[in-house]
Amino acid sequence: MSATEQITWGDTRLNWQDVVQVAKSGAVLQLSVGAWQRIHSAREIVGRIVSDKQIAYGINTGLGALCNITLEEDQLSQLSRNTLLSHACGVGPTLTNVQARAIICAAIANYSHGKSGVSPAVVQGLLALLNRGITPQIPSQGSVGYLTHMAHVGLTLIGIGCVSYRGEIVAAAQALAAEGLEPCPLGAKDGLSLVNGTPCMTGLSCLALEEASRLFAWADVTGAMSFEALRGQLDAFDAEILALKGSVNVQTVGERLRKLLAGSQIILASKGIRTQDALSLRSMPQIHGASRDQFDYAARQIETELNAATDNPLVLGTTEKWRVVSQANPHGQSVALAADALAIALAETGSVAERRLDRLINPLVSGLPAFLVAEPGVNSGMMIAQYVAASLCGENRQLAQPAVLDNYVTSGLQEDHLSMGTSAALKLLRLAENTVQILAIEYLLAAQALDFHGAENAGEGTQRAWALLRNEVASWTEDRWLAPEIEKAAALIRTQHLTV
């Protein structure tokens, strides 16, 4: 999609693909007339509260543990500015541009409900950051679920900090000026609304869903190639048998595997050579299917949050009859649990792939040359590639530990149970990238193993996958630098979709 095409949000339910599309494509995002009406109506309520000197948390009071301190009208703009300055204290490596854009997308979706009371100028400012290619530099660490990441976004709106702009890191004020934009004026509640809610964990989790969706599809492909190279027994994927499991996703994986292996002369010639295969081979429908079940759960939870109003307080009603309700919608428990569940599913996908690729290099079970090289001894072949996969699986086991169970007390006992949802999303993205590399190694090894069988004898789908890789990576006859070849395979997994 080109940057001149427009996408409109605000009238229909969003899905995770909508966030990914805008975050990655650079398409112009706009809000519907109805969304702007909701935003303006809520802002009018905030204006009425301030002018009438009514007391409402987050509008004319201090924040968090300072909620009982009442502020005068002339202090509210300064409060919003100070909120951003004090909360923008993240540390660690900077998020990627796509990750930062996904967070901003989720924030805009949150404000589009018209329940935050945030100034329309703030929402316009966030849209301008997306549409003009001004991307805040956001430190990745320091969030217990919310606050720090969006605070750094907020600083960009007022011309403080650094941004990525036209391929360079420049001062935010410089980028705004280059686009003819003024720093955003802040009023009552703007600072609090900017740092509150669950946009960070939700936007990042939408990106993770895209990664997981692609990886689960590729795991079937690389798994089928390994199954074929190890001369698996196709009865394990029998449609009638898999239907008895009662899982739609188990049946889906089974159908994909059968299509990938359709017409395989290798499988046909191997029928009956053993009564059953190792579990890493014959249980692919059950393992991969269960991972897809977790994906469906995670997508449902994350999309629910994407379509929710997650500010605190929320502004309800009309200027004549309003309510400002302090509650806990910014608590991201559902997203944290979803990200943790998906992390376990992805870790398992990588783990079973490592068991398959280990069998490929072991002549005791593969019937192939040791480490998949014609002259083992003088050549080490794929020996150490399996080490790398094992290392990544070990790291994935650490990353799959639930973040949501780590809990701390913040804000002087006021916030004494935290979701850690942003940590859950960030480690999920790291885990997904590790899984890309594990599947890339399986891809390389399975293709090499099929060479020994004669790839022309492979199934319809596995032969296409083999050919796709061989366009980038030649078969091994002797040792050569392996790391760049793994990266070529990983690039295919990141960018290509094999239709079966």
Active site residues: 57
Q: How large is the angle between the packed helices 199-229 and 148-157, nearest 10 degrees?
A: 120
- Residue 189 CA, chain-centre distance (Å), reads 30
- Residue 83 CA, chain-centre distance (Å), reads 28
Residues near 144 by Cβ (< 8 Å), separated by ≥ 6? Answer: 408, 410, 415, 418, 419, 420, 422, 423
Strand extents, DSSP E, 132-281: 134-136, 139-141, 162-165, 168-171
Name the 3-class secondary structure at 6.
Answer: strand
Q: Cβ(371)–Cβ(382) under 8 Å?
A: yes
Both tokens assigned to 347: 């870790």
User: Alpha carbon of 243 to those of 228, 254, 345: distances in Å?
Assistant: 23, 10, 22
Both tokens assigned to 359: 């069998």
Q: Cβ(303)–Cβ(335) under 8 Å?
A: no
- Phi, psi at 140, each rounded to 5°: -80, -20
Taking 3-state DSSP, the helix, strand and coil percentages for the chain, each rounded to the nearest 5, stand at 60, 10, 30
Beta strand pairing call for 162-165 and 91-94: unpaired
Q: How far apart are the first and last CA of the chain?
A: 25
Task: Tell me the torsion sign for CA atoms 192, 309, 136, 301.
Answer: positive
Angle at 446 between CA 443 and CA 369, to 5 degrees: 140
Both tokens assigned to 80: 């919003």
